[in-house]
Chain A
Amino acid sequence: MNKFFEWVERVLMPPMAKLSEQKHLRAIRDGIVSTLPLIIVGSFFMIFAFPPIPKLADKMSPELVGKILIPFRLTMGLMALYASYGIGHSLARSYKLDGVSGGILAMAAFIMTTMPLTMEEVGFVLPMGNLGGSGMFVAILMAIFAVEIMRFLQTKNIMIKMPEGVPDSVARSFEALIPAAVVITIIWIVRVMLGFDIQAFIMNLFKPLVRAGNTLPGVLIPILLITLLWAAGIHGVSVVGSIARPIWMVLLDENMTALAEGAKVLPNIAPEPFFQWFVWIGGSGATLALVFLFLNSKSDYLKRLGRTSLLPGICNINEPIIFGAPIVLNPLLGIPFIIGPIVTGIITYVAMYFNIVARPSITPPWTLPAPIGAYLATNGDWKAVILVIINILIMMAIYYPFFKAYEKQLLKEEQGKDVATD
């Protein structure tokens, strides 16, 4: 088992760590994370539009539902647009370029891939279809394209320099002038003059990846990678998420769009709430179950740790228990920590595959207690609450023998200490 941890530390961790340090991936992660408030608030309007109480839902007229959904359409529905700014901003910052210029340029590069239509009486309109989560990969690549052009021109010293004494903000906007001209002209030629549909091309390119993310292996691989990294003490979600989150975003967008259209069964199983509420109950590795076991431990240390970790655990914060127990580099607790979530992942996948439990479509704030989060995430399916409780019980059963063995080990040490002080 120690060999195994050595393997994780030496073979698995360095490339994953490098990946999470990689500037573009970091920018993607930070950019998408910065849109989280909009996703959470926007998706709550979905709950108001389709309340989980049937009596209330029946009373709502289609007109009212349409009105309630407007904030959702202008947040989730434009998600890729917001993200493109965030990605451009953080990528530019990582190159020590002006963040605001990078963000605006990225946004322009993304929106330039959309062809405006003309409507009588209204004038020009932008079709929103690909500006939401479904356009996430387009937003990512266009943001990277825009900022890389900016950086290329900067390193080649091709820019308009303002004389000293010109206010910073003015100087910056002039510095971004040439990059903006280059970026916009290139995209204009490709998209408009040559008529090459950049959006369709990129979306088709990433389609197999998105579809794979919705399969059972596509669910289990991120689960396994995340717990393996955590077992070595590395924040697994933050590493794996930088690659997986764009996929989860597209899946989520498809589900929310289907829900807004009144679909009873949603197309995808595996947007991020699947992991958040049904697998990571109490944090990565579903450690809330372990906290419950600790509460009744005979070991004084584990009992104290259980008490102090209970409230954070209910809010899905589990660093106290991961580093306190510790689970990190501790084979006894590491095994159930890695195996358990695979079991609950499979159970949840099957339950949603056969539509026993509704598929997730809403993104509640991640610090909510899991049963509440799961209820909201499935747009008010009470069976989701049952599934969460079942998953907690399964995790307790999987942790139990390992917990007992570890407790025995600790008790020996604790008693040893008492003897020593006597």
Chain B
Amino acid sequence: MIKVLIVCSGGMSSSIVVNTIKKEAEKEDIEIKVKAVGTGEFIDEVKEDWDLVLVAPQVRHRFAGFEEQAKEENIPIELIPPQSYSPLGGTNLISQIKKYL
């Protein structure tokens, strides 16, 4: 079971990506928990039990700040490449996560 936290601007667009990841994970039989939060909630949510943080491309200008907070909790953090960040990017997204299985 891998627990992935995704942060985007308001948590709206990333919930679409969350569904994409869940569908793809089901196909590949990967047990996964994914949650999307907005930038405001990140500071609290990152303190929960997560294995990986993914940052949506449209908030990549704030990556340094998120990285600092994730490092404090010892959670690896990665940027989602722009071309994966769409409902059709499922395979790319899951292979990005698989590295941490």
Contact = CB atoms under 8 A, between A and B. Distances in A.
Contact of B12 (A230, A309, A317, A323): A317
A394 interface: no
B43 interface: yes
B91 interface: no
B69 to A, nearest CB: 11
A152 B20 CA distance: 46
Contact of A238 (B59, B60, B82): B59
B81 to A, nearest CB: 9
Contacts of A322: 58
B36 to A, nearest CB: 11
A125 B60 CA distance: 47
Residue of B39, B58, B65, B82 contacting most chain A CB atoms (<10 Å): B58
B82 A323 contact: yes
B85 A319 contact: yes
A71 interface: no
Interface string B1-20: 00000001110110011000
A320 interface: yes
Given A93-B43, A233-B82, A317-B16, A324 B59 contact: no
A233 B58 contact: yes
A322 B16 CA distance: 13
A21 B13 contact: no
A363 interface: no
Interface string A150-181: 00000000000000000000000000000000
A324 B13 CA distance: 12
A43 B86 CA distance: 34
Given A238-B59, A312-B16, A317-B13, A323 B85 contact: yes
A1 to B, nearest CB: 18
Contacts of A312: 13, 16
Contacts, number: 84
B43 A308 contact: no
Contacts of B40: 30, 33-34, 90
B82 to A, nearest CB: 5
B88 interface: yes
Contacts of B88: 301, 304-305, 308, 324
Contact of B82 (A305, A309, A328): A328
Contacts of B12: 317, 367
B61 A13 contact: yes
Contact of B83 (A34, A308, A323): A323
A233 B62 contact: no
Interface in B7-66: 8-10, 12-13, 16-17, 39-40, 43, 56-62, 64-65
Nearest to B56: A319
Contacts of A320: 13, 16, 85-87
A82 to B, nearest CB: 15
A235 interface: yes
A304 B87 CA distance: 10
A232 B79 CA distance: 15
A154 to B, nearest CB: 19
A327 B85 CA distance: 12
A242 to B, nearest CB: 11
Given A326-B82, A328-B82, A319 B58 contact: yes
A53 B61 CA distance: 46
A309 B59 CA distance: 20
Nearest to A33: B40
A23 to B, nearest CB: 10
Interface string A303-341: 011001100100001111111101011000000000000
A391 interface: no
Given A320-B86, A326-B83, 13 more contacts: A20-B62, A233-B58, A234-B61, A235-B9, A304-B88, A312-B13, A319-B8, A319-B13, A319-B58, A320-B85, A323-B57, A323-B84, A323-B86
Interface of A: 13, 16-17, 20-21, 30, 33-34, 90, 93, 230, 233-235, 237-239, 301, 304-305, 308-309, 312, 317-324, 326, 328-329, 367
18 contacts: A30-B40, A33-B40, A234-B61, A237-B9, A239-B61, A308-B87, A308-B88, A309-B86, A312-B16, A317-B12, A317-B13, A319-B8, A319-B56, A320-B16, A322-B58, A324-B87, A326-B83, A367-B12
Interface of B: 8-10, 12-13, 16-17, 39-40, 43, 56-62, 64-65, 82-89
